[in-house]
Amino acid sequence: MTLFLELLGVAALILLNAFFVAGEYALVTAARIICDAEIEIGPYALVSWDVVLMDTYRGRDEPPRPIRLGRNSWVGFGACILPGVTIGEGSIVAARSVVAADVPAYVVAAGNPARVVRSLG
């Protein structure tokens, strides 16, 4: 059984046994969230419009893998965060990027597939 929510432009498809949490002062605007297991958005994180967060590839025989966005991380518009990805604290994902691997803390990641293009430290 699934739960479908649309609130303030955010469409979320969340299984009833799944875990979705957004930390304090996190801002998610007009994103698409597909959560079969776990998606965690850290405090002060910003998720722009048309972002897709998906912790599963529907229709495949793979188990869902959690997604984690660290404290004060930013995800630009139109980005896609794939299953199993962790975005480190203070990192920025550029617009239209496809993130298939973990992004370390305090970096800028961009492209398809996303890669680190700049350090913020």
Phi, psi of 64 (to 5 degrees): -65, 150
pLDDT of residue 7: 46
What is the rounded average pLDDT for all residues in the chain?
Answer: 88
The residues, any chain, with a CB within 8 Å of residue 108's CB and separated by 6 or more, are 91, 92, 94, 116, 117, 118, 119, 120
Specify the pairing of strand 10-15 against strand 2-7. antiparallel
What pLDDT digit, counting tens, does each position of 21-63 carry?
A: 888 888 888 889 888 899 999 999 999 999 999 999 888 888 9
* Paired tokens of 56: 């599963």
* Paired tokens of 116: 């680190």
What's the CA dihedral at 105, 107, 108, 112 to 10 degrees? -70
* pLDDT over 70 (residue 105): yes
* pLDDT over 90 (residue 16): no
Query: Which of the two residues, 73 and 18, has the higher pLDDT score?
Result: 73
pLDDT of residue 12: 65
What average pLDDT does the segment 92-117 reach? 98
Percent of the chain surpassing pLDDT 90: 64
Burial class (CB in 10 A: 0-12, 13-18, 19+), 121: exposed
* pLDDT over 70 (residue 8): no
CA-based end-to-end distance of the chain: 44
The CATH label, of 2.60.40.10, 3.30.200.20, 2.160.10.10, 1.10.760.10, for the domain at 2-119 is: 2.160.10.10
pTM, two decimals, is: 0.86
* pLDDT over 90 (residue 100): yes
Q: What are the residue boundaries of the structural domains of the chain, listed by start?
A: 2-119
